[in-house]
Structure formats: C-alpha cells, structure tokens
Amino acid sequence: MLTRGPYLQLLTTHSVTVAWNTDVASACSRTIHALDGPAATIAGDTGTVCAIAVDGLVTGGRYAYVPNADGVPLGTESVFQADDPSAPVTMLVFGDSGEPGPSQTAVRDRMLATPANVIVHTGDMIYPAARPPTSTRYGATGGVVDALRTGSGRIPPLKAFEGPIFFTVVAETGLRIGEALALKPDDFDWDREEVRIERALSQRGHIDTPKAGYGRTVDLSRSPSAVAAVQGLLAARKGAKVVKLSPWLFSTASGKPYSQRKVLRDMKRVLTRAKLPLHFSLHCLRHTYAAQRMAAGENVY
C-alpha cells in the first residue's frame, strides 16, 4: 500500500517525474495516458521508494496516471497538466490554518472551491491578524536565530549537547531537526563544501530515511558560520583527546543521539532567557532559511 504520494516532481513543458513510497518493496511502474489517448506503462526499479520520469509530453497537455506495485494499481488515477509558460497561472497562498476543528475545515473547503495551478502553504509565516514586526512568528525570527546561536545559558561543550552549534547548523543549512540530529562527521565533505543528508532521527528516537524518502546533498558554500562551528567542534574534540564514544555529530555525554524533545526543551530555555515569545518553533529556522535563499534569487526546490 502507499505510504506517501504519489506526487509530481520536476514538471516541465515536456517531462515530469512521479514519486511515491510503499510499505513493502515491489516492482515500481506507472501507467500514464493523455486524457483522450491510449495508456502506456513505464517500468522502474524495485523497492519501497519509487520515482519514474516520463518525457514526450505536450506543452499544456492534460494527463492521467496511476502508480503500480508489481503491476497492481495503487489507487485511482490522478490528473495533471504539463507546464505551459504562455498560459495564465492562478496561485493560492495561505498561512497558518489553525488548530484542528471547524476553522481548519473551513480553510480546506475554501481551498477546494478555489481552482489553482499552484498552492503555497507558508505555515507559521502568515497570520490572519496583523502583529507588530517584533512579535510575529516570522518577523522576530532574526532575533531568535541570534539568541540560539549565542546560546543563552549554554552548556559547556564536550560535556553535553552543543546547543549553539546545532542551532547555527540548522539556521544556515535549512535542515530539519531530525536530519541535523542524525548527522555524522563523515557526512561532511570539506573540500567540496557540502554535507550529505542520508538519515533522520525520528521523534521516537529511531533512525530513518529523510522525510523525502531518499538522501540529498546540501551546499555549504553559503553557510560559513555553520562550517566554522562544526569544524571548531571537531577540532576541540580532537584537541581535548575525547574518546570517541559516539558516531554522531551531536550527542549526549553518554554518546547517544540527542533527542528532539531535549532540543525543543533547550530552545524554550534560550527563548525564556532572551525574553522572546515562546511560540517560536525550531521549524521557523527552516522557513527563514528558505525565505532568505528565495530573496537572494535562488531556487530552493
């Protein structure tokens, strides 16, 4: 059965990739056809993470597709339209959708009633009620980053969790909390200025694949503070002749991976000592990173 997707990637005027995850390894394939044309099945690899590309689409054409596992359809057909640069685009943007309940259901119903080519969910960056820039979840993120980097009330390194270094890495790379906690020193390639994200630490403390279902490489050339922080941490450990108790970059004194719960606890402590609102989440740093990259004219997708 499907555990994620199917969803589209790399949609262009003539090609697209469809990806999905299943609970059991199987032969991946995808059946696709123009709405008024015959169907064709394209085979992929065998596994639980499937991604199959197709070329030869017609600009602006509408197509139906369904993913298969061992030749068996995984649900009903979905429809998409190939990109058409000359066609008008309708974009739907919404922010915080509120807590589960009638208000969130109303947001859903309004989205369903509003045809859109692109839907952007900004999460905690947009709220229905205006607030002063110093108190909005997004506007004060700069102050939050500064507080976390300086580590108000920081714990001495090499004895426990290196909080300021962790928060600097997250803020400058856009990594998810679980991805950062699952980093190992060997994941870094200093010559290429990049880090390989191969795993993530779940809220329950289990090592799993990243959220996308596969690894990726993150460029560190625009993250000088993160590079300096990690290199400084590794140099300090080497200089102190610390016995290698753990393969993890960030770990407890006993060598175990630092938990998400403890990171969030430490963040709340920093926010309290810095007299910043406690509603900020660590995920705000990921939003900030993406917004800064887009403001610099970069493609974050």
Contact 248, 257 (CB under 8 A): yes
Neighbouring C-beta atoms of residue 19, cutoff 10 Å? 23
- According to DSSP H, which parts of 18-150 are helical? 102-112, 141-150
Task: Please check whether the domain covering 2-81 is classified as CATH 3.20.20.70.
Answer: no
Alpha-carbon distance of 266 to 271, in angstroms, equals: 9
In the chain, which residues fall in CATH 2.60.40.10?
A: 2-81
Contact 252, 160 (CB under 8 A): yes
pTM: 0.54
pLDDT tens string 21-71: 998 999 999 999 999 999 999 999 999 999 999 999 999 999 999 999 999
Give percent above pLDDT 70 in the chain. 82
Of 30-34, 209-213, 224-228, give the lowest mean pLDDT range.
209-213
Backbone angles phi, psi at 166, to 5 degrees: -60, -50
Check residue 241 and give its pLDDT.
67
* Res 160 pLDDT > 50: no
Per-residue tokens: 215:
């690894």
* Res 251 pLDDT > 90: no
**pLDDT band for position 109 (cuts 50, 70, 90):** confident
- Average pLDDT, integer, range 179-202: 94
Task: Please check whether the domain covering 141-295 is classified as CATH 3.30.1360.200.
Answer: no
* Res 92 pLDDT > 80: yes
In the chain, which residues fall in CATH 1.10.443.10?
A: 141-295
